[in-house]
Amino acid sequence: MESLTLSDVEQKYYSELFLSCDVDNTKKVASNGKVLDLFRAAQLSNEVVHQITELCGATRLGHFGRSQFYIALKLIALAQSGLPLRVESLNSVRDLPLPRFVMGKNEQEMRHAVMFADTENQGPYFPRPPGRVQAKKVSAHEMIQPCVPTVDPQPDTTSPVVSPHQSPPTSPHAWRKHKRQASGGNVDRQPSVPGVVWPHFREAQPGPVTGDGMWSAHSPPPVQESWVSFTDTPPSSTLPMHPPSAQVITTVRTVPSAMTTNEIQRQISGYDDPWKITDEQRQYYINQFKTIQADLTGLIPGSAAKEFFTKSKLPILELSHIWELSDFDKDGALTLDEFCAAFHLVVARKNGYDLPEKLPESLMPKLIDLDDSAGVPEPAPEVGFSASPVEVTPNKSPSMPSLNQNWSELNQSNEQWETFSERSSSSQTLTQFDSNIAPADPDTAIVHPVPIRMTPSKIHMQEMELKRTGSDHTHPTSPLMAKPPELSDEAKLAATIKFPGTTVDGYSSSDSFTSDQEPISSAVNRQRSHSGTSPEGLKVVAPPPPPPRPHASHSRSSSLDMNRNFAAVPAGPQQPGVVAFPPAVPPRPLPTQTSVPHGHRSVEGDGLPAHTSTSPHQMPEQPNFADFSQFQAFAVDQPADDGENASDSGQNDVQSEERNATTVNSAKVSTPLAPPPKPVRRRLKSEDELRPDVEDLPQKSNVIATVLATQPSIPRSIGKDKKAIQASIRRNKETNTVLARLNNVIECDHQERISLEVQLEQLRPFSHL
């Protein structure tokens, strides 16, 4: 005989038939009797059958070998489709429908009739008594396959016919194996396939398409099958629970393991999802869940689940795969939804369905927690088995339990981020702040976008804050500077003395404030608000706390700030303008200023107005010095305020001294203590120079005394002992100069460092790219 090419479908079908005919279990020869019966079942005339047997060579051989059998089957198909029986046409005819056979035997006829009757009906059927089925299971099933289509009146039965026949050769064996494995629950394999009752399928197909209905019933939930494949679960208990399922069991059994998921998909493309769990199934699963874990909202630990599913006798590898699919949040425990999905998959697998690579959408557990505590839920169907949030692969399990796994990644990213922040001029408060935010799942960038996303702008923020610190320092001082002129000497000094206290408080409060780890934006807002309010003449209100990040790391600078503020208060209004300005600026006004006081001094006893007129000219160059000019004018106009005036000049002198080092601090530091001694010295100088104002001395000394009295830093030598005063003054002045120089140096370094760090921060984020 010529070689016969069979399609896969045909191959499978034929082999099945051959096996069914292989009563003697020879696997090589089909018994003549059975074969002939089969052929007769094909509803062909005897002559045709005879012709076929001749053609296939069986007559020659005397028996039906496998090849003969196959050829015969193909010829039958030809005959049934009305084509002439030719050997040549065996291979040439394409898309030949599979040969159909009709039951011939009595029992089969009966069954067939039953089936037929059943197919006519559309209502649900209840399981037939098992006894009848048992004996003839195999053959009945084999026969049922071809039988059914004949009953089907639908024209489009060819497709449904084809698919169920597409049973892999091994499937019957496997199927039988499954049957044996299955407990009694599977006994109900009834040929009463038809009226299958899948409610959802019924809905999909309202028409009396019994055949289709049947096939559709076959397709998806083979799940109903082997409900009770777990030996421990008594089958009987399940039956009453799922009466509808019983018939499904029968229906499924007929075509069952034969169908691959692809077929299912094809068949039920218009129907519901094959993986969908029906209510009865779900109820069953829930009950099973309760046997393990009474609380339906609780979790089944992995070990218990393992024991339970091991009873299903599936290979460990498959169980492992099922677990991977169903444990959605990767926590090692199963919620009710996860358990149902796992159970469903097990049942499917027991019925021969291949496990999907990804969890089907209908089996996905509903995400319960949508609040921040559980992270952002991800209904991503790519049940990503990965858990790499930061990288490309989507994170499958965003819920809390998975955070443990993501922790290492988070720590990594956190560490990178922290190192970045450490490299920057950020303070410890910044790093603390980061660690608070970072532990959140990086995937939930939606939850905490600010800290991570704002890195580039953070630098900007810091820069702004840096600038603001300078400005903020200036602002509070300027209004404060504006205040003193309005105060009397004592009051002014008292205020100046008190202000450091307030600044200290302000700083301490600011430090504590920053330790609250506020987001950067709020910190900036704080700065802005402060800068907005500061020029408005706040006095006692603490000066805007300097941006914690850039400054808190520099303990010295913070102390410097304090010193600066401490010194800033009593200092003249010229200091604030110089704080943030580059060194180059201050010297310019100095010569003019210094000239003024010098002018003052030289002309002290003379017509001051002339010089005062000069001062206003020079003053406008420095707007911050406006107060000073007013003050000067005021002082000049009122000789009684010579002390103040002198003190201002003294301040100017001090400034001129320190200007070379370009520090405001120095001036601030030195000036608080300088004014009292200065006037004295100046006064003395003036005495030396001019000697006209000796009578002013006692007045000055009185003023000085009062000034000194109010200054706690100066030894309280209230007595008129000028030498003691002068000695103390000198000592203080020396310390002042030393501190001033130190401040100069530190301030310079601080400025440079800040600028460098800012540059570093700007460059840092781009280094990783």
- Tell me which residues touch other proteins (CB under 8 A): 302-303, 305-306, 309, 316-317, 319-321, 323-324, 327, 330-332, 357, 385-388, 390-393, 405-406, 408-409, 411-412, 415-416, 768
Q: Among candidates 702, 610, 691, 594, which has minimal Cα distance to 648?
A: 594
From the CB of 322, what's the least distance to other proteins, in Å? 8
A 10 A CB-CB count for 80 gives 18
**Could you say which DSSP state residue 105 is in?**
S
How far apart are alpha carbons 439 and 450 in whole angstroms? 14
Query: How far is 427 from 548, CA to CA, in rounded Å?
Result: 7
φ/ψ of 55, rounded to 5, equals -65, -40
Instruction: Compute the least distance from the CB of residue 416 to other proteins, in Å.
Output: 8
Nearer to other proteins, 691 or 768 (CB): 768
Least separation, in Å, of the C-beta of 388 and other proteins? 4
Instruction: Please say which residue, 324 or 490, places its beta carbon nearer to other proteins.
Output: 324
Nearest distance in Å: CB 386, other proteins: 5
Q: Which is nearer to other proteins, 294 or 317 (CB)?
A: 317
Question: Residue 426 Cβ, how far from other proteins at the closest point, in Å?
Answer: 20
What residues have CB less than 8 Å from 603, skipping those under 6 apart? 610, 611
Nearest distance, CB of residue 327 and other proteins, angstroms: 7
Q: Which is closer to other proteins, CB of 180 or CB of 768?
A: 768
The minimum distance between CB 367 and other proteins, in angstroms, equals 18
Q: How far is the CB of 666 from other proteins (least distance, A)?
A: 45
Q: Check if the beta carbon of residue 667 is closer than 8 Å to that of residue 686.
A: no
Which is nearer to other proteins, 316 or 694 (by Cβ)? 316
Nearer to other proteins, 356 or 583 (CB): 356
Cβ(205)–Cβ(216) below 8 Å: yes
Q: What is 13-68 written as a DSSP string?
A: HHHHHHHHH-TT--SSEE-HHHHHHHHHHTT--HHHHHHHHHHHTHHHHSSEEHHH
Residue closer to other proteins, measured from CB, 365 or 572: 365
Provide the minimum distance between the beta carbon of 562 and other proteins in the complex, in angstroms, as a whole number.
37
Task: Kindly give the interhelix angle for 722-767 and 696-710, rounded to the nearest 10 degrees.
Answer: 50
Nearer to other proteins, 396 or 682 (CB): 396
Residue among 377 and 550 whose Cβ is closer to other proteins: 377
How near is the Cβ of 186 to other proteins at its closest, in Å? 25
Segment (H or E) for 333:
strand 333-334
Half-sphere exposure of 187 (CA within 13 A, CB side): 15
Q: Are 668 and 481 in contact (CB under 8 A)?
A: no
- How many CB atoms sit inside 10 A of residue 475's CB? 24
Please state, in angstroms and rounded to a whole number, the distance separating the CA atoms of residues 30 and 290. Answer: 52
| Cβ neighbours of 698 (radius 10 Å) | 11
CB of 405 to other proteins, least distance (A): 5
CA distance 169 to 55: 25
Query: Per the structure block, which two tokens stand in for 537?
Result: 């003449």
CA separation for the pair 601, 690 (Å, rounded): 10
CB within 8 A of 459, min separation 6: which ones? 424, 758, 761, 762, 765
| Rounded-to-integer distance, Cα 257 and Cα 164, Å | 10
State the Cα–Cα distance between residues 759 and 423, nearest whole angstrom: 11
Q: Which is nearer to other proteins, 335 or 666 (CB)?
A: 335
Q: CB nearer to other proteins: give 391 or 505.
A: 391
CB nearer to other proteins: pick between 406 and 496: 406
Give the integer Cα–Cα distance in Å for 403 and 385: 14
* Shortest distance (Å) from residue 397 CB to other proteins: 9
Bridge partners of 333, per DSSP, are: 301
From residue 518, give the alpha-carbon distance in Å to each of 512, 541, 548.
Answer: 11, 21, 10
